[in-house]
Amino acid sequence: MDDEDVGVMMDYVEKFSINEVFVKVTLKDGMLANENVDIFDSPNENQIITVYENATSARISPGGSQNERTMLSAKWSYVIQDVGQVFEEGVENFRKCLVKFAYQCGFQFEYLKNDKRRVTAVCKYKEAKVFPWRIHTFVNINNGFFYIRTFNKYCGVVLCRSKKIRISTEIVGELKVGDIRIMPRMTPTDVVEQVRDKYGINVTYYVAWNATNKARGAVFGDHRSSYSALIAYLKEGERANPGSVFDVQYVQETLAFKRCFIAFSGCLIGFRACRPMIQIDGTFLKGKFGGILLSAVSKDANDVHGENDDNWDWFLALLKYAIKDDRVFTFISDKQHGILVRVKKVFPDSFHSFCLKHMTGNLNNKFKGVPTGYMEAIVSQFISCVFEFSKTSFNKKIEKLKASGSTRIANFLNDLPYHNWVALSQLGECVF
């Protein structure tokens, strides 16, 4: 028994208004300890302290250290009280309360009966006890409430603080719903730390991750139901934002969601005052159902199954219809072949440039494993070529780059048409 066990014992003393506690203190060799032993003095490692309801040894009075910080879980020792207590939310609410009660009071239990109509739980170590802890609840079919019918709250136990009670994902999720509502970007790591600091509970990252998702779903709705609300959302968008362009498509056979295009009127109007430049890209969505987010500079976006030709045709055609602009545009993207072909098909008079960040990222990948200084020099020379507006200077710099980068840079440039990345080509100069 340590200080924590004594604290739990004192919780019982206060809760059940116990006037006296009898403690039997035995040494390992079987000798009875001094009857005047002070239970609040830490015993040496050779002592075993066992607490029985009917013990006849040393007598103590309620007390104990008040230095420990009170955890928010302290009130859990009162969620289950006595016969006749009502759980209006039904069996699930009772089970959660039972887990909280067992955790805070420091014991383990097991179910004898556990269904929608009745639940009976007993102390896990019932075979070793004369009067084991036991609770029986049943449902009232008239109102669906759960009631405690019998409750043996006293038993001859070896009082110990169990660390083996597992707090479920549902309980942790309920604990963090309020915090998620205030801080939607809360991470599982944050949940692990806060649950430990505020409740004294150690949960795994996996439990925290699931709990965070459940709490976020309770506050903002889950991913699955959001698809069902999509049509209503777009109709409201049309009403509140006249001139917006929306399009939703479903798989004909199964009515499963396929893709969605969203362009708000305010964004489209604002774009007409911007430079005729559109950056397009696709990125993977990390939600439960995955997908791809295709985006343009005006923040038009849609969820699709992948960056294939059909999806790009559909997206760019709707983009052209939405912006209703006859200017000649410059598109910026990565060098994915599908984007190159589809942009030229839908916007035949447009310029198409590769994104510098994507290009330098690909160049770094080509030179993996080489000294950092050498790689940085190659990237610096390449960027200098990109922004060169003199044909003579460009030719000198590109030859220097090829000499410095050898075969790797040659292969990299062979897959990179000059007119898609050299600034000089945007002025109509031929750099081949």
Last residue of a domain, one of 353, 387, 415: 353
Q: Determine the pLDDT at residue 32.
A: 43
> Using 50, 70 and 90 to split pLDDT, how confident is the model at 9?
low
Residue 243's nearest CA partner among 217, 225, 270, 279 is: 270
Residue 400 lies in a domain: yes
Residue 164 lies in a domain: no
Lowest-confidence region among 36-45, 208-217, 416-425: 36-45
Do 324 and 248 fall into the same domain? yes
Residue 28 lies in a domain: yes
Residue 338 lies in a domain: yes
Element (H, E) at 64: none
Structural domain containing residue 14: 3-60
Do 238 and 346 fall into the same domain? yes
Q: How many domains does the chain have?
A: 5
Do 214 and 117 fall into the same domain? no
Do 82 and 111 fall into the same domain? yes
Q: What is the mean pLDDT of residues 11-23?
A: 61
CB atoms within 10 A of CB 312: 23
Question: CA-CA distance, 409 to 405, in Å (whole number)?
Answer: 5
Do 254 and 325 fall into the same domain? yes
C-alpha distances in angstroms, 158 versus 38, 50, 100, 125, 382?
19, 6, 20, 10, 75
Do 283 and 337 fall into the same domain? yes
Model pTM score: 0.51
Do 346 and 360 fall into the same domain? no
Do 39 and 145 fall into the same domain? no
pLDDT digits 0-9 by tens, 393-431: 998 999 999 999 888 998 888 888 888 888 877 655 555
Question: CA-CA distance, 43 to 416, in Å (whole number)?
Answer: 77
Q: What is the mean pLDDT of residues 139-153?
A: 89
CB 207 within 8 A of CB 169: yes
Element (H, E) at 397: helix 391-414
Do 344 and 360 fall into the same domain? no
Q: What is the mean pLDDT of residues 103-119?
A: 87
Last residue of a domain, one of 327, 353, 379: 353
Residue 140 lies in a domain: yes
Do 108 and 147 fall into the same domain? yes
Do 344 and 230 fall into the same domain? yes
Q: Tokens at residue 95, please?
A: 């089970």
> Using 50, 70 and 90 to split pLDDT, how confident is the model at 131?
low
Do 288 and 393 fall into the same domain? no
Q: Determine the pLDDT at residue 58.
A: 29
Residue 276 lies in a domain: yes
What DSSP string describes 279-341? E-EEEE--STT--EEEE-TT--EEEES-S-HHHHHHHHHHHHHHH---SPPEEEE---HHHHH
